[in-house]
Structures are given as C-alpha cells and as structure tokens.
Structure 1
C-alpha cells in the first residue's frame, strides 16, 4: 500500500476505525487480526472474562467437589473425609489469599503491565492444570498425596493472582467473570454423575482415579481455550498502552491507571481514547460514596458465608441425606443470580456494572440480601444454643424449614456478591475493585476458620455438660470466640505439613 493511499485511508476513517497500517500487527503480516480485534474487541473481552471465570475455580472443584474420589484414590479411610476436606480447603484458601494479597500490593505500588501479566497468569493456570493431572495419576497405588496437596495450593495461589488481574482490568465486563464461576460447579457435577454411571463399577475400573483424571482433562482443554481467548483480547492493548504513555497522555489525578478496560484508538476523534464496551459511559475513575454499599455487599455477603455454610447449616441441622440434596440445589441455584445479572447488564443500560446514580440507584437496595443473610445466620446459631425455643424446634425438627433457610442463606450471598463486585468497579475503578476483593477474601477466610473452630468446640459438649451454663450472654460469647480462635489456629497450623497422609491419620488416632 502506497504512502498516499495510507494517508487517504487514515483521513476517511479516522473517526470510525483504527487504520490497519498503524497496527502493531502490520509488521507481522497479520492485518486481518487487527481488523478482527478492532471490530470484535468488546465480544472478545466478555468471552475472555467468562472463560477465565469458568476456569478459575477448577482447582477447588478437584480438591473439594472431588474430595470423595481423591480420598479413595489415595487409599484413605472414609472416616477422615471431613478432616481431609477441612485441611485441603483451609490450605487452598490460604494459597488464594496470599495470591490476592501479593496482587494487591503490586497494584497499589506499581500496577504496570497488567495486561501482559494477566496473559502470563492465564497461561500458567493452564500449565498447572496439566501439573495436577500428572501428579494425580502418578505414584502407583498410594499416589503422591503430599505433592498433590501442595499442587492444589499452588494452583489456588495462581487463581488468587488471576482474580486480581480480572478485577483490575475487567471493567464493566466483570459481570461475565462473576456469572461463569458457579457454572464450573454444575459442569463438575454433570461430569461426575455421567462418568460414575458409565464407569462406576470399581471391580472393573479404577473409578476414583479415572473420574478426577477425566475432569482434569476437560479442565485442561477449557483452560487452554481460556488462555488463548484472553491473549487475543488483551495482547494488542499492551502495545497501545505503551504508545499512549510514549505520547505522554494526561492521566486522571484521581487514579493511577485510568486506561484499565479501555481501547486506545490511535486515529479516534482528535486522537482521544474511546471506551470499549466494558467501560462505556463511565464518568469517574476514583472511589465514590456510591461504592460503599457494593463493598458492604461483598465484604459481609462473602465474608460470613463459610462461617455458617456448610458446617453449621446444613451440617448441624439436618441428616446427611439432606446435606447432599441441599448442596446439589445450591450448586444449581447459585448459577442463576449471576447469569441473570449478566443478561441484564448485556441487554439494558441498568445493570449493576453501571454507575449507581439516577435511575440506576436502585441497586443500593440489594444490600437487603446481606441483612437477610445475617439474620438467618443468627437464627441458626440461636437454634443450636437454645434448643427449647420455638425457633429451634421449628428449624431442628423440620428438615424442610432447615433446608429452605440454608438455601436462602446461600442464595443471599450469591446475589450480594453478584451485584456488589461489579457495582464497586462501576462506582470507582479497577484498583478499588482489587482492594475490595482483598478485604472480602480476608474477612471470608477469617470467619471460615472461626466457624470451623467453633464447630469443633461445639461438638465436644452435650446439653447435660454445657460449658456456658450460668454465664451471661457476654461471657458466653467471649468463651466461644476464644475457643473458636484457638481451634482455628490449630487448624491453620495443621494445614502446613510435609507429610499430609501422616497428619490426616494422626487426626483420627
């Protein structure tokens, strides 16, 4: 193409598209890729975030949803199932928390090259799925339990970093990331059910090894697709951000990086930036009071969920057969709120991923679901400690009521975070969104450990030998918090070990 035709093309299309000759892909003889990226970037970003959200929780699906299969594959007794799940869950959540913490430190202190880092992390996620597969199937009959355990922890460390990247650069499209997370649970349940129906005869097949190996094979494929799409969605943005900095474009004084989630169009009107679909219409890039309610939805809604679920509700309220049914219902129902929110955000201009002002301010009212979650959680605690009350009888003697309240408790937290996380980003910026993620996970992990410590102490006593008889409410509360904290610390320490099998067996002897 001649220089004069380049100039003509640039002048005629400067207000509507990016000149292919200006593209960084021109030097690599792939101008068609630039054109595709320009015309379909919004869709690619949404697809990338959806697939990344789908792949995010794969390590947890293996470590927790596949715990019964893992237990049998490593030749461990079923009686230590709950201990195994608690140890694995604690260690994985700590791995994730460390990843999120380090990610936040980087964002707050530097935050450069986020697109490039996010691409690398998505490919590392893919690699770790392969590592998990090889570690799981190796080691003969007993397997390599400790190596598998720490591989899971390392995987969750990576997905902690993944979350920071997604919330930092996802913009309004973060609703698709949130919508995809629960779907991995449904996918896992379908795979486990289908595979055990086909290869469930343990006299013929090594079912427990094959089920998890099959899941990991599917997860590897999805993670590969996710990494490829994420790379396509963000690779050109790396060079565009660099050119933007080279031109010394002014940045907002209110945030360090006002380009997160934006496409810099070199030939746009007056050479200015134009927003991609994920940040279109965003008027600010700083923390605003409108973000407070969204942060409360996240910090409280996510923060307290595992203090109660599943150890107390449904664990202490109904028999095991109801526990399984409740968890299955929650797995299916949990996908609906986030999907509905994503559809609303796509089809209308009134999603929670838009600023919560004017006609869109009604999203503040969704904090009522956090209030309901708190109230129901308190009802569960009261029913365990005051068994002669009408409330306790209504819950403990009525499995349907206990099931209904447990599902209500769980769904309220799903709605709260489904609205809250995109709302925080919409009313602030990616940096505030990552800090909100950190605070939410910090509170969640703290209350999860306290909840586990509490239930360990609770099971030590009977009504005839109740430890807080004669105490005031304040004294009793201090007793349970002190004991829960001590047990939580012991549980956390036991999660750090170089011989997982030995530690698990010691816990039941």
Structure 2
C-alpha cells in the first residue's frame, strides 16, 4: 500500500509539472507564431498589431471565463461531491489537448488560405479550456502547486528554442513553406505535450480517487494507515515554550494547534524533546492516531453534505491575504506594460526580441528555484503565520512598481535625460526590463505557491505528562495495527476524555488545556487557491484592456506632439486624463472582443 501511494504521488507531481508546461502552449501559438500565421491567412503585415491584439484580448477573456466557471464550481460544490473534483480535472486536461486538434485542422486544412475564423475560435476555445484546467488543477493538488507554477514559464523558452532551431535548419531549403510547417509542427508539439500531461493526470488522479473511495468503504480499517505529525515536548520544555508564546502576544494564547497533517516520512513523524524515549514516541503516536481517526471520521460524516459557507471561506481568504495580494499584484499589472510598451515601444525590433528572450529566461529561474525549495521542504508552501519571513517577499514590489513607472516616462517626457537614456542604451533598457521580470516572477511564484496552504491542519503538541505509559491498552509496536485496534482506540479515547476533564489533556504551545473539537477542513485550501487565480486573472484582464486603451490614446496623440492634450495641465489632472481615456478606449475594446467575422475586422 505504501509503494502504491508513493507512485501516485509521483504521478501527481509529474502531472502537475506537465499540465503547467502545456498550459500556455495556446498563447505561444497565438502570439509567438503570429507572424507565420499572417502569411498563411493572407493578412497584410501592416495589420500585425491588430491581429495580435485581437486574438490576445479574446483569449484572455476566454481564460478568465473558464477560471470563473471552474472557481464557482470549486467554491460552491457541496462537500459530499468534492471527492469527484479529481475526475473533473481529468476531463479539463483532455479538453485542453482536444482543442489543439481544432487549431491544427483550422490552420493546416482548407487549401492555401486555411480557415481563419475556425483558427480564431479554436484558440479562444483553447483559452477557455486552459482557464478551467488552471483553476481546477490548483484546487485539487494544492500541495504540488510549486511544480505547476514552476513549469508554466518553460513553454516560452521551449517555443523560442524551437523557432530558432527550425529556422536555422530549414534556412534556404528549396520548395519548402517554412511559414506553414513551422506552425504545424508547433501545434503538433502542443498536442503531444498536453497529451502526455492528460495521460499522467488520468493515471495519478484515478488512483487517487480509488484510494478515497477505499477509505470511505473501509472506514476504520483504512484510517489505521493514517499518519499524524506530532511534536512531543518534555513538561519543562512545554512550560518554557508557553512562557515564550505569552511574551510574544497575549492574543495568540487563544489559538490552538490542530490534529493531523500530511503524511511525512517515518523519521519525520515525531520530533523529540531532549528527554523523549522510544517507548514514549511509540505510545504517544498510537494514542494520537486513534484520536485523530475518530475525529476525522466524525468530521467527514458531518461535512459530507455541507454547502458553501461564506464566513468560513472569507476566513480562509483572510489567512492567505498576503500571498493572494502578492500574486494578484504581480499578475494584474504585467500586461499593462509588457510587451507592448516594454521593450518594443522603446527600441527596435531586433533589440526588443533579444530583451524579450532574456525576460523569458528570467521568468523561468525563480520558478525552478521555487520547485527545488519546495522539494527540500523549505519553500513558501508553508504556514506564513509561523514562517513570517516569507511575507518579506513584498520587498520585490518596490522595484516592480518603480520599473512600471520608468516605462511610462519616455512617452510623456521624451526630452528628459532618463527618457533619452532608455531609448538610446539597450543595456539600460535591458537592465530595467530584467529587474521588472525578476520582481514579477518572484512575486507571482511565491504568492501562488503560498496562497493555497494557509489553512492546512496543524500538528498537535503534547507533553510527556499527558500519557499514561503503564496503560497496556495501547498495543505494542509490533501489534499497533492488530485486530484489536478498534477496541484499543475506544479505550484510549475514554482515558483521553477523563484526562481532559482533569485538565491535563493535550495542549497547544499557547494553550490553556483547550483542544478544538475537530481539525480544520483541508478542502478550504482548494477553494482559496481557485479564488486566488480568479482574482489574479480578473486584475490581469482589466489592466490588459486599460493598457490597450492607453496605447490607442497615445498613438492618436503622438500624431501631433504640438497639440499634446496635457501640455498645460498639472500632474494630477494629466494623470486623471490618461487614466480616464485609457479606461474608455479599453471598455470599447472589451465590447468588441469576440467576433464571427474575423477577416473583416483585420482587413479594416
């Protein structure tokens, strides 16, 4: 049974990694390969910006709608149906793969011109499937989000390397349509990547679903395999820890640690105090396992029909407010300036492309480092209330906002020395873009990884005086899972209740002999994680359209700098002008986001 569980965990980690790797393949097809699609569909090169903006905006809205629907499902689904979320995630992974077949047929078929409308709606459908899959994936496997988020930026690097190699190997090849085959092969690669992800996901989460059903059917027998992470302290150490906690904060004394946690390695199940004994470890572990099993069963029976609780949900969001806001800020503002303003508006196409590649590589580095930290169990997938130093990641918001401001200066103050330096020096522009990309990647990666684990069940802390070692009802090490386990558990829990009535029951470090009746529900983590991605993409879509409206306003005003609209305005009035105009034009663009006649709009 243990080997099967390890294999399932490996499949789930691999599936999360491949799902993240396949996630942005549709955007890479739409954006990175846009110049090749133009020639295939016979669209004039002067309309490349309209083509990219049209498809990108439509896909971002479709992604948001997919995330919205999936998040509503995750949050509002009754608890008794939540065990089927893994099966739903299998469906969304296969939907991502199947939508690429639609894109392939639209681009590769229909003679010399392809089918532009089908291609457009195929990419929009891929975006919708991507949004649903992203939200559900981050909800059903919150403990593996680092693998999911870490592999997302790899798609950009993979596509860039593929384009470089393909163009180099087929340069000057006679009677070979490079613009056609480069995108056909890219779509096929996306099908293979998403197909592998769907297969791994199916294997991992079907087995996981079977294990859940097994636990429900076997009841007490299945719960015997439950491991509980506990911390045993000597009574003198306990007194010292209580004193330290009281000195830190009186308010924290009311908070109690909870029973249960994820299964750990055997050597990490128990952390000893300086006077701990092997027999104490064995007996206390068995005692808490029995206690946890009965509590978990009662909790599951009561929560099986629970519906959405707004108060509980808001409490869960509040506990994760720091990482949620971190990822929202990082995701929300990125398309306001990147890549339309920085780097391409501030330099030529060749330099901008080189800087763009550097940015793609920069996105990857923090994500891979985060995977390594989480694998070593020192990453941000922990309780930030305990490991407070992860909140200091907010320091990266300072250069992040500073770089955004710097990108706007050359457009509005072209005569300033800084503006001239940004336009003339590729190293200066590259440094600012690198700083922006690094700050964005760190904030996004750490925020997404931490948001979904702030409501995890905490381990219980007991002292060696809480246990009666002379009690023979607790079985020996060899017989700890014997047939008499149920009787033993009942006897141990009666002793536990008598002990608590005397005031010497298990306590938390800041406790006063209190113990919550039930452990917290870990399913709240999935709801908070889905809400986090929904909020992040809501801000992304809003500011993406505001950025689009700003660029359209700026282009109209730059036609005649002598009639600059804010020349005689104060800073606040000019700021209000640009924000209002960007919002109006962005709202107009949002109203035109979807169309049934794509070619007519692109040929205007």
Same fold (TM over 0.5): yes
Counterparts of 1:495 and 1:228, CA distance in 2: 34
Matched, 1:104 2:71: yes
TM-score of the pair, normalised by structure 2: 0.71
CA deviations over 1:20-55 (Å, ceiling 9, x no partner): xxxxxxxxxxxxxxx5x3232222111110010001
Out of 51, 64, 68, the position equivalent to 2:18 is 51
Counterparts of 1:265 and 1:502, CA distance in 2: 62
Matched, 1:351 2:401: no
Matched, 1:457 2:553: yes
1:477-496 alignment, distance < 5 Å:
477-496=575-594
Q: Name the Cα RMSD after superposition.
A: 2.6
Instruction: Name the structure 2 match of 1:313.
Output: 342
CA displacement at 1:172 relative to structure 2: 2.1
Matched, 1:39 2:6: yes
CA displacement at 1:241 relative to structure 2: 3.2
Q: Is the 8 A contact 2:74 2:526 kept in 1?
A: no
Point out the more displaced range, 317-326 or 79-88: 317-326
Matched, 1:444 2:540: yes
Out of 142, 151, 155, the position equivalent to 2:122 is 151
Give structure 2 stretches of 5+ with no counterpart.
229-258, 270-311, 456-524
1:487-506 alignment, distance < 5 Å:
487-506=585-604
Distance 1:238 1:445, change over 3 A: same
Point out the more displaced range, 131-140 or 285-294: 285-294
Instruction: Name the structure 1 match of 2:95.
Output: 124
Counterparts of 2:388 and 2:320, CA distance in 1: 11
Distance 1:460 1:205, change over 3 A: same
Out of 425, 428, 433, the position equivalent to 1:406 is 433
Out of 161, 164, 168, the position equivalent to 1:197 is 168
Distance 1:78 1:288, change over 3 A: closer
Instruction: Name the structure 2 match of 1:77.
Output: 44
Counterparts of 2:51 and 2:449, CA distance in 1: 34
Distance 1:445 1:202, change over 3 A: farther
Query: Could you say what secondary structure the match of 1:470 adopts?
Result: coil
Instruction: Name the structure 2 match of 1:95.
Output: 62
CA deviations over 1:225-279 (Å, ceiling 9, x no partner): 1111111111122234345566899xxxxxxxxxxxxxx955414999873579x
Larger Rg: 2
1:23-38 alignment, distance < 5 Å:
37-38=4-5
Instruction: Name the structure 1 match of 2:404.
Output: 377
Matched, 1:471 2:569: yes
CA displacement at 1:203 relative to structure 2: 5.2
Q: Is the 8 A contact 1:494 1:503 kept in 2?
A: no
CA displacement at 1:324 relative to structure 2: 0.8
CA deviations over 1:451-478 (Å, ceiling 9, x no partner): 1110111112243221112222222122
Counterparts of 1:449 and 1:140, CA distance in 2: 35
Residue-pair matches, total? 455
Point out the more displaced range, 204-213 or 152-161: 204-213
TM-score of the pair, normalised by structure 1: 0.84
Give structure 1 stretches of 5+ with no counterpart.
1-16, 19-34, 250-263
Query: Could you say what secondary structure the match of 1:460 adopts?
Result: helix
Point out the more displaced range, 225-234 or 106-115: 106-115
Q: Is the 8 A contact 1:352 1:426 kept in 2?
A: no
Counterparts of 1:54 and 1:402, CA distance in 2: 29
Query: Could you say what secondary structure the match of 1:302 adopts?
Result: helix
Point out the more displaced range, 264-273 or 401-410: 264-273
CA deviations over 1:273-328 (Å, ceiling 9, x no partner): 873579x99xx996275522211211111100110111111122222221111111
Query: Could you say what secondary structure the match of 2:91 adopts?
Result: helix
Q: Is the 8 A contact 1:42 1:277 kept in 2?
A: no
